[in-house]
Amino acid sequence: MGHDITSTDQMITVKKQAWHKLGTIIPEHVTPKQALQMAGLEWEVVEGSVSATFEEKGKTFRVVDENHKMLLRSDTKEPLGIVGKDYKVMQNSELADFISDVTAGELAAVETAGSLKGGKRVWFLLGGEQYDVAGVDPVSEYGLFCNGHDGGLATRVLPTTIRVVCNNTFTAAGAENLMKGISIRHTKNAQDRVDEARTALTKNVEQIEKFRDAAETLAKVEVDTKWLTEFFMSVYIDSGATPPTPYRPQMTDKERKRGERAIKRATETISQWFANFEDADDGNAHKKIRTTAWAAFNSVTRWADHGRTVKNEKKDPTARAYANLLGTTASLKAMTLNKALGSV
């Protein structure tokens, strides 16, 4: 399939390819129901038993696990995951209906939709408003609805913003982040889910407003090389990367080589952040914000979205899109925002 999408995943995006750089371009906004067909999401999740077979004394025995069930794609018969017996599947068609019920006609134009990880993740991104940070840097707001079919992700409703000038996505997933959204477990009836999601959308508005305030705060703070160095190093260390270790005479050869590799990785990464800051989004960033803490924050998020190495990306070209939306990249960007706010 084109655009390097895995053979069992499809995506659509309006007018131009979105931040994930994948998918089929469609000419205009569509409803969730229309997007369902266009994005190849009309397949269903079917349930099967979890069992094991073994031989003993020439006889074959089959044991069924009554407390679990397997979820499979109806079209490809691919296994999606093993879940508990009480797990409630939300079909892709039900998710589309759910979005229409929740939004009640508002925020109902789909900007992009599709599946990731062979159908284990499904999402719809709905278009919202646009505002300009510091009056010059356009940021578009969206509502993200996503669902998991492997037991690893609840139905989620959360706000997402995309910085138009360089397609940086800001989706913060986590309990303590500004834009954490709402998770709805696969054990509740449909009406409970709709009511919770409506509440989530209301809270999303509040979270978007907090993000606007944070962005405006950062855009007012001019920074220098000393501030950037301290900020970037702080972000790097808190990102989970191995911190650079100074050379010590008592180091073993193994420790020294490991330390040299850590210093090299840190230097290369932080140098890229400095390069992003200095080139001001290839010269497209407005001069009003080019030397601010907002630009420093976006220097990291730009690298996170487009330059960071994502685990399993060579085997799964959708891995980066998932990481940017809900995975490790989203968490990194949330941490970076909090670091930036704590440094000004």
- Nearest Cα to 344, choosing from 196, 190, 216, 239? 216
Q: What is the mean pLDDT of residues 122-143?
A: 88
Highest mean pLDDT among 21-35, 48-62, 185-199: 48-62
CA 87 to each of CA 48, 68, 81, 97, 248: distance values in angstroms, whole numbers, following the listed order: 13, 9, 11, 20, 54
Mean pLDDT taken over the chain? 82
The 3-class secondary structure across 226-239, one letter per residue, is HHHHHHHHHHHHHC
Q: For the whole model, what pTM was predicted?
A: 0.76
pLDDT at 6: 56
- Give the Cα separation of 98 and 135 in Å (integer): 35
pLDDT(2) > 50: no
pLDDT at 81: 94
If phi > 0 it is left, if psi is from -120 to 50 it is alpha, else beta; for residue 242 that is beta
* Residue 55: strand pairing partners: 60
Which of 181-185, 207-211, 282-286 bottoms out in mean pLDDT, i.e. has the lowest? 181-185
pLDDT single digits (tens) 153-181: 888 887 788 777 777 777 654 434 555 56
Which of 180-194, 303-317, 319-333 bottoms out in mean pLDDT, i.e. has the lowest? 180-194
What is the H or E stretch that residue 62 is in? strand 59-73
pLDDT(269) > 90: yes
The type of residue at 226 is K
Q: Is residue 294 within 8 Å of 218, Cβ to Cβ?
A: yes
DSSP 119: G
Which of 70-74, 160-164, 232-236, 336-340 bottoms out in mean pLDDT, i.e. has the lowest? 160-164
To the nearest 10°, the Cα dihedral for 282, 283, 289, 292?
50
Q: What is the mean pLDDT of residues 105-128?
A: 82
- Give the Cα separation of 101 and 89 in Å (integer): 18
- Give the Cα separation of 123 and 309 in Å (integer): 23
Strand order in the sheet with 79-84: 45-56, 59-73, 79-84
Q: Is residue 29 within 8 Å of 325, Cβ to Cβ?
A: no
CA 65 to each of CA 51, 53, 126, 246: distance values in angstroms, whole numbers, following the listed order: 6, 12, 40, 53
CA angle 91, 92, 95 (to 5 degrees): 90
pLDDT(242) > 70: no
pLDDT(62) > 70: yes
Question: Tokens 């079909």, residue?
Answer: 91
Query: Per-residue confidence at 191, pLDDT binned at 50, 70, 90?
Result: low
What is the H or E stretch that residue 306 is in? helix 293-306
- Nearest Cα to 169, choosing from 112, 220, 250? 112
Provide the CB-side half-sphere exposure for 248 (13 A, CA).
Answer: 10
pLDDT at 50: 93
- Nearest Cα to 102, choosing from 143, 140, 141? 143
Query: Per-residue confidence at 28, pLDDT binned at 50, 70, 90?
Result: confident
pLDDT(3) > 60: no
The percentage of the chain sitting over the pLDDT mark of 90, rounded to a whole number, equals: 33
pLDDT(1) > 50: no
CA 331 to each of CA 254, 335, 337: distance values in angstroms, whole numbers, following the listed order: 32, 6, 10
Would you tell me how many other CB atoms lie within 10 Å of the CB of residue 84? 11
Q: Give how far the C-alpha of residue 123 lies from the chain's centroid of Cα atoms, to the nearest Å.
A: 10
pLDDT(142) > 50: yes
